[in-house]
Chains A and B, each alone.
Chain A
Amino acid sequence: MNTHDPIVGRYVYVQCEGKTYRTYYEEHGEGIPMVCLHTAGTDGRQYRHQLCDPDISSNFRVIAFDMPWHGKSIPPADFHLMEDEYKLTTKFYCEFIVAFCRALDLRKPVLMGQSMGGNICLALALRYESEFSAFIALEACDYSPGWWIDPLHHPHIHGGEVVATSVFGLMAPQSPDDYRWETWWYYAQGGPGIFKGDLYFYSVDSDFRDQCQKISGKVPIYFLTGEYDFACTPEMTQRTAEKVKNSECIIFGGGHFPTSEDPVKFKEVVTPVLKKILSADPERRGQGGNALSGRSVSDSRSAGRGERPGEGRKVIEF
């Protein structure tokens, strides 16, 4: 007997700033659409645990897409003719996320993003609040300097290894080794210069310190940050949240990649948030009928690795 994750992957063609982007996404579940944004230089695999969690997927249609240049989403066709290095901008990032949601005909999805995906929630709340029903901003703050640096894309330095190792310490030492190294692996697989180019957005083109106060508060924003995050420290998130109307701030014992470095801990932390979102939007929840219980996900570190048939499957304990 073979074991499969329930995730389904597809490609959609997204128009943005005059170009067409063949964009890969994975999804599972039914209910309130929840679009998940990966961190800089990686891809939607960071959400594989949440995509497979029946407690979440019975109430949410969970969708994780790979930004252009990331994962299985290819760069624009003429990328080899670019006269500047790859740089993600706030404008493009916002427009692409909105265009992706429209390409899938999503109506007011929840947006969950981490790191740069968390920071962009602030820009979207400012510019496109009518497109979304809630923001879950993981490891997010209004200004995160210090990461747009040349060693991350240099011909004398192994990009994959340096990029992955530069983020390893962002994870909590207590997070499971297997998951921390899986996260390291995602980073090691990024395209040349893509992590650094994303960090142009993260550290240069996303200074929202004077804009946070202008967010209307019509759409709730939930900030969640791990105590070991040295790029976006708990204090940085707390200072940001204090400026944002209709926001909550949760600091937890974890690191910068909560969805992938410690999915069991992350479920504990995010479940109360998801419950609030469900309570505020009862008509759109899935037909599965399972209220989010906060039941722990069993340890699924061997999922898909096939030690024994069926052993790797996620099991929810009641």
Chain B
Amino acid sequence: MSRYGSRSSFDLEWIERWARKVNDDRILPVIGRFFTSKFVLGFDDTEYLVDVRGGKIQKIAQGLTPNDMGVEFWLKAPSSAWSKFAQEIPPPMFNDIWAMAHPLHKQLIIEGNSLPFWQNLRALTRMLSLMRQV
């Protein structure tokens, strides 16, 4: 996307492109060696399951089904916020997931079990920052 452009929608195709960026990354297997989790990215009312093993994405899916057991946490934000986050140079207050989630700003909501979120914050931060290369 353009450096300062905005994104109108985050569809599954876009999520797939992001997942491929994640799996091509050569740092994540190192810092995310123990990052194994299922989590959900929420863009407005649309949810994407992200199944991670050892820092690599094994599966993505739009929406959850009864078979999607073991989801640990949800990261939910308006698509307008994700759009700013995904800019190559994101604007202040949208350049980081903790910045967006911080109680002062509340652009991103963390739901579920936040322990694996914090345990894997370094790898997760890098993983999500690769949205800027999609």
Taking Cβ atoms with an 8 Å cutoff, the residues of A that contact B are 145-146, 151, 154, 156-158, 161-162, 164-166, 168-170, 172-174, 227-231, 233
Question: Cα distance A173–B125 when bound, in Å?
Answer: 14
Contact of B95 among A154, A161, A169, A233 (CB under 8 A): A169
In the bound complex, do residue B96 and residue A168 qualify as a contact, i.e. CB atoms below 8 Å apart?
Answer: yes
Stretch from B6-14, B41-49, B68-76, B116-124 that touches the partner = B116-124
In the bound complex, do residue A230 and residue B121 qualify as a contact, i.e. CB atoms below 8 Å apart?
Answer: no
Contact of B121 among A161, A174, A229, A233 (CB under 8 A): A161
- 28 A-B pairs (CB sep. < 8 Å): A145-B104, A146-B103, A151-B114, A151-B115, A151-B118, A154-B118, A157-B118, A162-B118, A162-B119, A164-B122, A165-B121, A166-B98, A166-B121, A168-B125, A169-B96, A169-B98, A169-B125, A172-B95, A173-B90, A174-B89, A227-B92, A228-B92, A230-B92, A230-B96, A230-B102, A231-B104, A233-B93, A233-B104
Q: B59 interface residue, CB < 8 Å from A? A: no
Instruction: Name the B residues within 8 Å of A154 (CB-CB).
Output: 115, 118
Q: B105 interface residue, CB < 8 Å from A? A: yes
In the A-B complex, the 7 residue pairs with the closest CB atoms: A169-B96, A146-B103, A151-B118, A230-B99, A169-B99, A165-B122, A165-B121
In the bound complex, do residue A146 and residue B102 qualify as a contact, i.e. CB atoms below 8 Å apart?
Answer: yes
Instruction: Name the B residues within 8 Å of A158 (CB-CB).
Output: 119
In the bound complex, do residue B89 and residue A231 qualify as a contact, i.e. CB atoms below 8 Å apart?
Answer: no
The main secondary structure of chain A at its interface with chain B is: loop
Chain B nearest CB, measured from A59 CB (Å): 33
**Known A-B contacts A166-B121, A168-B125; A230 and B93 likewise in contact (beta carbons under 8 Å):** yes
Taking Cβ atoms with an 8 Å cutoff, the residues of B that contact A are 89-90, 92-93, 95-99, 102-105, 114-115, 118-119, 121-122, 125
Chain B nearest CB, measured from A192 CB (Å): 15
Question: Cα distance A172–B94 when bound, in Å?
Answer: 11
Chain A nearest CB, measured from B83 CB (Å): 16
**Beyond A154-B118, A157-B119, A169-B97: 4 further Cβ-contacts under 8 Å?**
A156-B115, A161-B121, A164-B122, A173-B90
Chain A nearest CB, measured from B108 CB (Å): 12
In the bound complex, do residue B104 and residue A161 qualify as a contact, i.e. CB atoms below 8 Å apart?
Answer: no
Chain B nearest CB, measured from A88 CB (Å): 20
In the bound complex, do residue A230 and residue B105 qualify as a contact, i.e. CB atoms below 8 Å apart?
Answer: yes
Chain B nearest CB, measured from A119 CB (Å): 15
Chain B nearest CB, measured from A236 CB (Å): 8
Question: Cα distance A157–B114 when bound, in Å?
Answer: 11
Question: Cα distance A170–B99 when bound, in Å?
Answer: 7
In the bound complex, do residue A231 and residue B122 qualify as a contact, i.e. CB atoms below 8 Å apart?
Answer: no
Chain B nearest CB, measured from A163 CB (Å): 10
Instruction: Name the B residues within 8 Å of A172 (CB-CB).
Output: 95
In the bound complex, do residue B104 and residue A230 qualify as a contact, i.e. CB atoms below 8 Å apart?
Answer: yes
Chain B nearest CB, measured from A271 CB (Å): 24
Chain A nearest CB, measured from B124 CB (Å): 9
A154: nearest residue on chain B (CB-CB)? B118
Question: Cα distance A169–B95 when bound, in Å?
Answer: 6
Instruction: Name the B residues within 8 Å of A146 (CB-CB).
Output: 102-104
